[in-house]
Amino acid sequence: MSTSEPKGRTAATAARPEQAQRRDFMRRASSVGAVAAATFLPGLAKPAWAQKGVVKFGCSLPLTGSFEQVSKLYRAGYEMWADTVNRKIRIGDRELDVEWVFYDDEFNPARTAQLTERLITTDKVDFIVGTYGTDTILAQGAVAKRYNKITIQAGAASRRVDEEIGGTTTFTVVANAGVYPKLALEYLASRNPKPKRLATLTFDDAAYKEMTEGIKAQAAGLGLQHVIDVENPVTVQDLRPTVLKLKREGNIDIVYFTGHDVPLIKFIQEAAALDFNPGAIVGGHLTTNPSVKAALGDKLRDVYGVTLWLPQFKYKDAHFADCQAFAEKHRALRGFPPTYHSAMSYAIPMLYAVAAQKAGSTDNQAVRQALLGLKAEPTIWGPVTFNERGRIQSGGIPVIQWQGQDPAVQVISPGDLSTAQGIYPVPAWRKRT
């Protein structure tokens, strides 16, 4: 994997003449069907993918730094798909080799933009899969847009993606961030004794801020008082001041943590050390990361969370009969059980493959139209339909709680997925044995 800086290139670098000619030709085609047919008309040159016999996927991820662990999960999912299809993809009547190019963007939007241009102009990738984080996703999409490329991503739930590049350049396979906390708050607000005071921990990323906005908007209708929000940078290392601030606030019934796995671990450790005992800590959408259980052990007990995917869900695709079959093969090939990141990142290149087969081409605008035309496409991530902004259509996010001496995930809500009753209020740290 190369991680050196792009040299002598800028986002304004012009495409090669033959690329410009091809785009002009594609703009004259009136539909996906016309594009697919024109690609194979006798006498016309074969498209690039047919000439080279390879379809290239490109990606940058923050493979070092605060998001190293979650990035490894995304990369594992991307590579899981490649292994599952034996690194082959079918377009038209040809079976072609699959190649991947990965870079470390260090969670830096400027570097992400540079690397996206390198992927397009130097590596000449056919398809771009998403990085992680709102600002980096937007930087990636801005460059892709200049080159008439599309991206499919699962690393930014913010509505900013929809508003700025959704559907024209970028497709998103995760629900909008604002709905993530919805079912968890509804469930906890229905407990007896009823919780009254709610606190949030927010991080300076658009998606996390939108989660908190959604919580504030929902709280009053559920009879909850939002009493304090503590905001930190996504790179925060010391969560002790945050826990002390919450503890001084007093009588907090619910804490909703919006952030990622590294500060979540530190927050739970400090809460236990400082004997901070709200009725429920909702650890957000990343409690199922293997790194969280490995770091916290039994301190994860009774922590709530939300999740977009679990192996016990009954989704399937052309390669797996259900999510459990996917999970078992993932463990065998990658060496660890999958989280929802693994499932959704696996689905991204699969969706490209499905759309390219339907379009009969890797031309990104033909593939874009094919993606917009998908209706409940079966994947182990779930049935996929995109709205006009390129956002997956999705309901609420299931609620989980880690229960037992060796904490294990139990689904608490909704009822049709439930595997256990939730524990509320949870015991104080010193009483958990």
Angle at 363 between CA 357 and CA 367, to 5 degrees: 50
**Do 74 and 170 sit in the same domain of this protein?**
yes
The domain boundary residue, chosen from 327, 356, 372? 372
pLDDT for the residue numbered 58: 97
The amino acid sitting at 101 is V
Q: Which of 185, 413, 406, 395 is nearest to 302 (CA)?
A: 406
**Do 158 and 59 sit in the same domain of this protein?**
yes
DSSP category for residue 391: B
**Do 328 and 277 sit in the same domain of this protein?**
no
Q: Which of 218, 189, 310, 200 is nearest to 259 (CA)?
A: 200
For the chain, the domain total comes to 2
Residue 213: enclosing H or E segment and its boundaries?
Answer: helix 206-219
Contact at 8 Å (CB) between 218 and 182? yes
**Do 187 and 270 sit in the same domain of this protein?**
yes
CATH number at residue 276: 3.40.50.2300
**Do 409 and 358 sit in the same domain of this protein?**
no
**Do 229 and 89 sit in the same domain of this protein?**
no
Q: Is there a domain that residue 132 lies in?
A: yes
How are strands ordered across the β-sheet holding 94-104? 88-91, 94-104, 54-61, 127-129, 151-153, 170-172
Q: How far apart are CA 329 and CA 321, in angstroms?
A: 12
Non-local (6+) Cβ contacts of 204 within 8 A are 231, 232, 233, 234
**Do 222 and 131 sit in the same domain of this protein?**
no
Q: How far apart are CA 387 and CA 369, in angstroms?
A: 12
Q: Is there a domain that residue 390 lies in?
A: no
Q: Is there a domain that residue 335 lies in?
A: yes
Q: Is there a domain that residue 384 lies in?
A: no
Whether the model clears a pTM of 0.85, i.e. scores above it, the answer is no
Contact at 8 Å (CB) between 57 and 127? yes
**Do 144 and 276 sit in the same domain of this protein?**
no
Q: Is there a domain that residue 389 lies in?
A: no
The domain boundary residue, chosen from 357, 372, 387? 372
**Do 64 and 33 sit in the same domain of this protein?**
yes
Per-residue tens of pLDDT for the chain, all 433 residues: 443 433 333 333 333 444 444 344 334 333 333 333 333 333 334 555 556 689 999 999 999 998 898 899 999 999 999 999 999 999 988 899 999 999 999 999 999 999 999 999 999 999 999 999 999 999 999 999 999 999 999 999 889 999 999 999 999 999 888 889 999 999 999 999 999 999 999 999 888 999 999 999 999 999 999 999 999 998 899 999 999 999 999 999 999 999 989 999 999 999 999 999 999 999 998 898 888 999 999 999 999 999 989 998 889 999 999 999 999 999 999 999 898 899 999 999 999 999 999 999 999 999 999 999 999 999 999 999 999 999 998 777 899 999 999 999 999 999 888 999 999 999 999 988 6
Q: Is there a domain that residue 301 lies in?
A: yes
**Do 123 and 226 sit in the same domain of this protein?**
no
Q: Is there a domain that residue 382 lies in?
A: no
Q: Which of 304, 337, 278, 307 is nearest to 407 (CA)?
A: 304
**Do 200 and 170 sit in the same domain of this protein?**
no
Q: Is there a domain that residue 381 lies in?
A: no
Helix (H, G, I), strand (E, B) or coil at 365: helix
The domain boundary residue, chosen from 326, 354, 372? 372
Q: Bridge-partner residues for 61, per DSSP? A: 104
**Do 342 and 235 sit in the same domain of this protein?**
no
Domain holding 107, by residue range, is 17-175+314-372
